[in-house]
Chain A
Amino acid sequence: MTRLFAGFIANVIALTTRLVTAVQARWIGCGPEPVRRVYFANHASHGDFVLIWTLLPDGLREATRPVAGADYWLKGRLRRFIGRHVFNAVFVDRTRTNKDGNPIETMSAALNEGASLIIFPEGTRNTTAERLLPFKSGLFHLARQNREVEFVPVWIANLNRVLPKGEVLPIPLLCSVSFGPPLKLGEDEDKAEFLERAREALLGLAPKAL
Chain B
Amino acid sequence: MSVLAQLLAIFGASAAIVSVASITGFVLKQRRAEPDPFVENFNARTKSWWAILALFALAFIFGKAGVIILFALLSFAALREFLTLTYTRWGDHWTLLAAFFVVLPVQYLLIWDEWYGLYSIFIPVYAFLLMPVISAMRGETERFLERVSEVQWALMITVFCLSHVPALLTLDIPGYEGHELLLVAFFLIVVQMSDVFQYVWGKLAGRRKIAPSLSPSKTVEGFVGGVLSATALGAALYWITPFDPWQAAALSFVIAMMGFCGGLVMSAIKRDRGVKDWGWSVEGHGGVLDRLDSVVFAAPVFFHLVRYWWTV
Q: How many A-B residue pairs have CB under 8 A?
A: 38
- A71-79, A130-138, A170-178 - the one binding chain B: A170-178
Chain A's closest residue to B143 (CB) is A210
Contacts of B281 in A (CB 8 A): 22
Chain A's closest residue to B150 (CB) is A210
Number of residues from A at the complex interface, CB < 8 A: 16
CA distance A52 to B281 in the complex (A): 19
| A4 interface residue (CB < 8 Å to B) | no
Task: Give the dominant DSSP class at A's interface.
Answer: loop
- Are B85 and A171 in contact, with the CB atoms below 8 A? no
Partner of A172, one of B86, B93, B100, B279: B100
| B80 interface residue (CB < 8 Å to A) | yes
Contacts of B85 in A (CB 8 A): 210
Task: Give the dominant DSSP class at B's interface.
Answer: helix
- Are A174 and B274 in contact, with the CB atoms below 8 A? no
Partner of B83, one of A24, A165, A173: A173
Whether A161 contacts B97 in the complex (CB less than 8 A), given A22-B80, A22-B281, A207-B274, comes out as no
Chain B's closest residue to A164 (CB) is B90
- Are A158 and B84 in contact, with the CB atoms below 8 A? yes
Contacts of A207 in B (CB 8 A): 274-275
**Which residues of chain A from 135 to 177 have any CB-CB distance to chain B below 8 Å in the complex?**
158, 161, 164-167, 169, 171-174
| B81 interface residue (CB < 8 Å to A) | yes
B23-61 CB contact bits vs A (8 Å, 1 = yes)?
000000000000000000000000000000000000000
Contacts of B273 in A (CB 8 A): 208, 210
Partner of B80, one of A167, A169, A174, A208: A174
Q: A: which residues have CB within 8 A of B?
A: 22, 24, 158, 161, 164-167, 169, 171-174, 207-208, 210
Extra contacts besides A174-B80, A208-B273 (14): CB < 8 Å:
A24-B280, A161-B88, A164-B90, A164-B93, A165-B90, A166-B90, A167-B93, A171-B83, A172-B76, A207-B275, A208-B274, A210-B86, A210-B87, A210-B273
5 contacts between A and B (CB under 8 A): A158-B84, A171-B100, A173-B80, A173-B83, A208-B274
Q: B: which residues have CB within 8 A of A?
A: 76, 80-81, 83-88, 90, 93, 96-97, 100, 273-275, 279-281
